[in-house]
Structure 1
Amino acid sequence: MREADHIDYHIADLGEAWGIFRDGTQIGVREHAADAIAFANFFADRETLLNRLPVRVTADVHLHRELRALRLAA
């Protein structure tokens, strides 16, 4: 088995909520996109202090669309 070269936090649309995943394992659910982003970023930031691997936060296409809609509404 190959060692991971980074730690991945991913935010994905679950229909009525946003799922937050760490390396493919779901670790949280948030109703609002901003809360999901804050949750993922908090744990990713904390992970940088505990681990020597690079950490990244990614999102599915649905979150990108949601963010565009929020920017237009602002």
Structure 2
Amino acid sequence: MLPHTIEYHIADVGDAWGIFREGMQLAVRKDPADAIAFANYFADRETLMSPHPVHVMADVHLYRTLQEIRNAA
């Protein structure tokens, strides 16, 4: 049997980015980099406390936003 994977997900929630753990919203951040940092911090912490694998994922809107930021740089 495959182990349960804990998922953190970053999604566009209008004018901000929602950070979700297993479907439950944990936080909202205005800046996409802050949303990524927040999700990564908690996912990294959880890898130390849990025997389960942890993944951080994002919706397509975040990927597009990051591409726009890269193109503008």
Structure 2 equivalent of residue 21 of structure 1: 20
Structure 2 equivalent of residue 45 of structure 1: 44
Structure 1 segments, 4+ long, off by >2 Å, are none
The answer on 1:12 being equivalent to 2:18 is: no
Q: Which runs of 5+ in 2 are unaligned?
A: none
Letter in 1 for 2:56: V
Q: Which runs of 5+ in 1 are unaligned?
A: none
Secondary structure class of the residue paired with 1:5:
coil
Letter in 1 for 2:14: G
Whole-Å separation in 1 of the counterparts to 2:4 and 2:70: 33
Structure 1 equivalent of residue 33 of structure 2: 34
- Normalising by structure 1, we get a TM-score of 0.93
- Normalising by structure 2, we get a TM-score of 0.94
Query: Aligned pairs, how many?
Result: 72
Question: Aligned residues: percent identity?
Answer: 63
Whole-Å separation in 1 of the counterparts to 2:60 and 2:47: 25
Secondary structure class of the residue paired with 2:69:
helix
In angstroms, what is the RMSD of aligned CA positions? 1.3
